[in-house]
Structure 1
Amino acid sequence: MDGIGENVSEEAKASFWKKNIKAVPGRPSPKKDPRGNRQRNSSSTSFQDFQDSVSDAWDIGDDEFCIISDVKISKKVAQSAALSVLNSHRCPSAGETSPALKPCDFTVSEEKKIEALQYLASHRDPQMASPAHCTSTPQVPNSPHSQRQFPGRPQPLRGNTGRSKFHIQSREGADCETSKLERFQPLLETQLLNLEELRQLSWSGIPVKVRAITWRLLSGYLPANFERRQQVLERKRLDYRNLVKQYYDTERDETRQDIYRQIHIDIPRMSPLIALFQQKTVQEMFERILFIWAIRHPASGYVQGINDLVTPFYVVFLQEVIPADGDLDNWEVSSLPKEQRDIIEADSFWCLSKFLDGIQDNYIFAQLGIQHKVNQLKELIQRIDGPLHRHLQHHGVDYLQFSFRWMNNLLTRELPLHCTIRLWDTYLAESDGFASFQLYVCAAFLLHWRRELLVEKDFQGLMLMLQNLPTQNWSDSEIGMLVAEAYRLKFTFADAPNHLQSGER
């Protein structure tokens, strides 16, 4: 797959991240653009309507700057750039251009356009407006979105009986779970574990009872030798406690204080409808994990979205220590002994570190790994499903607008948490690392919604759909079908990059 992104012009590569020139820990951020106040035209009201209708994509809570993976841009510049994109979508076909909406009426640099698209792709409003506040929001006529309940966004509770959909128990049934467990347990108890056999068993899902120990083994945190495991656990957990004392519990310089401040802002926004993640104890644990990880990885530092990647590890290791019939959604973590809390925190940190080692280039300066994967996804869809690709291109939908978040957050914001955990069973079981496999998962995920996307006939409808795919009722069976389709695509295309080349752009 290395050849897929080679068609991107050198000029595009040079200008894509041109503004990132200010040095911060490990990666630069751009300076404030004094040209943010651009002349607005008569379509500003329409832009405001569009902005209101996609409240999932714009974080209206930010005051002065919009923050994109530690890249700061003026809100006025982002809106101005997005406005020019909308104007180009409104322009009729060649030969019928309206004098009031000529493309040359409003110009914007390529880097500002990319920044606006990246912001659109990476944010959603943490609060969902109630029906009383939505009377002025424009609706798309005959659009299936007018009555759709979107996943990933907080939904208003319906009466006193409403409860969160946060479940991570396997939905495959007790018999299947028991059958799987009977195959896992003897393997896990062998003196010298056969990791390849464990990967094969884990690829189709891991029983809840042995998921925590299996994830530690698959991530490389634990050794295959049974006798050495306890010794390694004790040493690594002690190492983490020492790191906390060395970096977190001491006075921070200005650079580290900036990192801590950003983490401290992001953590409360995480999973706002899941009571577990609103507990002060849990948020403090996440802060320590993310801060220590950022200090130990100065090439990337802390990047928005990494906080979402801690969640699956934390939940799996928490479930290991609470009763099987416990309400994980509302479990009071502070009631656990401190020793158990320390174990959950340390194991989450080390497994996260191992997990991110394979996708480190996703979070270094300019996030070049994600840029490359977005280009690969575009080439892949163009070859696999030409009609869908042309439909997106015809309506001006850039792959960066929706797939940046898929790549940056590994679909954690597109899927319910129990589905994310099931998906990560497969990610961790991929023998060559999941980084390449995730491309095909994203392709299969997009193709799954092909029929619904082809129904949408404008840019707004497509973006509403792509930013809010209806996965709230998904279970393990849907994830099983998704990874199976992703495996088929990988088997077909991974070793044949020339198949992805096409003269049709």
Structure 2
Amino acid sequence: GVCSSFFFFPAEELRKLSWSGIPRQVRPITWKLLSGYLPANADRRECVLQRKRQEYFGFIQQYYDSRNDEHHQDTYRQIRIDIPRMNPERLVMQPQVTEIFERILFIWAIRHPASGYVQGINDLVTPFFVVYVFEYIEEEVENFDVSSLREESLRNIEADSFWCMSRLLDGIQDNYTFAQPGIQRKVKALEELVSRIDDSVHLHMQQYEVEYLQFAFRWMNNLLMRELPLRCTIRLWDTYQAEPEGFSQFHLYVCASFLVLWRKEILEERDFQGLMILLQNLPTMHWGNEEVSVLLAEAYRLKFAFADAPNHYKR
């Protein structure tokens, strides 16, 4: 039914369908199509996949031994420090998965000297990795032992995750260059947007001297991944990949909707510390697709309302 027919839609149609969430069984291939990693032409897909996977492992052969060289060792050390701090820890702490993440992040950093490795990029591997593991297993991914996968399957998952993460980062690279100017701009745009859509929340923050950078830096740097359960991030990314400039521009409207969603809780907090504790630990643990759908619908409404607004919302 829906699954097998999902890939034969023209690109535009696929985007429309994906916007509202992608069925789990077809998510791996759909994400690869939406990110532009796989060609729309089905006859060319196998050939492209083989070529890209070989290219990635070529980078590993070429660069990975240099991770302990003088000018790369700081990068490699930082990656190794960050990976154990990630969610979902159980999956990432499996030695094979840790190694995969180390390779992906190191190769990405070496090939992007303008930004190099920045904390936050490590989180962006996880959704791709988890979704691409689904291609090879039936059960839930969280408690899955990766070592039971065939070596070739793991290599495919690794290379595909690398390329799709690279595609995502191409669109938001100024978030991770020196001084992270992209994030500074987006946080400023968020502040302006919130001041227009919910003045009382905005003034309340000002009154208690909460700076948007203090909580929203992380929202931009980690694409809300630290604020939501992984299942919600994956659902959110269905839409981000279907929405033109989803990761760079639509994300801003999602953040604004997300903040205003906690309006009641925010207005009840009457000091700086209480507000910061709330904003850094928003209670989303129980969230699922329904909450994400509400958030996205509201973000879409905002985008629509402000799309013709002055230029600073369009960045």
Q: TM-score scaled to structure 1, two decimals?
A: 0.61
- Number of the residue aligned with 1:478: 291
CA distance in 2, matches of 1:397, 1:251: 40
Matched, 1:348 2:167: no
- Give RMSD over aligned pairs: 1.5
* Structure 1 residues not aligned, in runs of 5+: 1-181, 501-505
Match of residue 113, structure 2, among 298, 315, 320: 298
Higher helix share: 2
Deviation, structure 1 residue 184: 4.8
- Contact 1:310–1:352 (8 Å) recurs in 2: yes
- Contact 1:358–1:433 (8 Å) recurs in 2: no
- Number of the residue aligned with 1:176: none
- SS of corresponding position for 2:179: helix
Q: Which amino acid aligns with 1:264?
A: R
* Residue deviations 1:455-480 (CA, integer Å, cap 9, x gap): 00000110000000000000100000
- CA distance change for structure 1 residues 320 and 187 in 2, over 3 Å: closer, same or farther? closer
Matched, 1:448 2:267: no
- Number of the residue aligned with 2:5: 186
Residues 181-220 of structure 1: pairs in structure 2 closer than 5 A: 182-188=1-7, 190=8, 194-220=10-36
Matched, 1:334 2:147: yes
CA distance in 1, matches of 2:6, 2:164: 21
Aligned residue pair count: 313
Deviation, structure 1 residue 328: 1.9
- CA distance change for structure 1 residues 299 and 395 in 2, over 3 Å: closer, same or farther? same
Q: Which amino acid aligns with 1:216?
A: K
CA distance in 2, matches of 1:202, 1:239: 29
* Residue deviations 1:33-78 (CA, integer Å, cap 9, x gap): xxxxxxxxxxxxxxxxxxxxxxxxxxxxxxxxxxxxxxxxxxxxxx
- Contact 2:115–2:178 (8 Å) recurs in 1: yes
- SS of corresponding position for 1:249: helix
Deviation, structure 1 residue 495: 1.7
Query: Share of identical aligned residues, percent?
Result: 64
- Contact 2:240–2:247 (8 Å) recurs in 1: yes
- Number of the residue aligned with 2:99: 284
- Contact 2:175–2:221 (8 Å) recurs in 1: yes
CA distance in 1, matches of 2:39, 2:269: 50
CA distance in 2, matches of 1:414, 1:276: 18
CA distance in 2, matches of 1:258, 1:280: 21
- Contact 1:274–1:329 (8 Å) recurs in 2: no
Residues 343-422 of structure 1: pairs in structure 2 closer than 5 A: 343-422=156-235
- Number of the residue aligned with 2:278: 465
- CA distance change for structure 1 residues 433 and 471 in 2, over 3 Å: closer, same or farther? closer
* Residue deviations 1:357-405 (CA, integer Å, cap 9, x gap): 1101100111000000011011111111111100000000000000000
Q: TM-score scaled to structure 2, two decimals?
A: 0.96
- Number of the residue aligned with 2:65: 249
- Number of the residue aligned with 2:124: 309
- CA distance change for structure 1 residues 447 and 408 in 2, over 3 Å: closer, same or farther? same
- Contact 1:212–1:317 (8 Å) recurs in 2: yes
* Residue deviations 1:175-229 (CA, integer Å, cap 9, x gap): xxxxxxx3453241x3xx5111100000010000000000000011000000000
- CA distance change for structure 1 residues 423 and 381 in 2, over 3 Å: closer, same or farther? same
- Number of the residue aligned with 2:79: 263
- SS of corresponding position for 2:180: helix
* Structure 2 residues not aligned, in runs of 5+: none
- SS of corresponding position for 1:341: helix
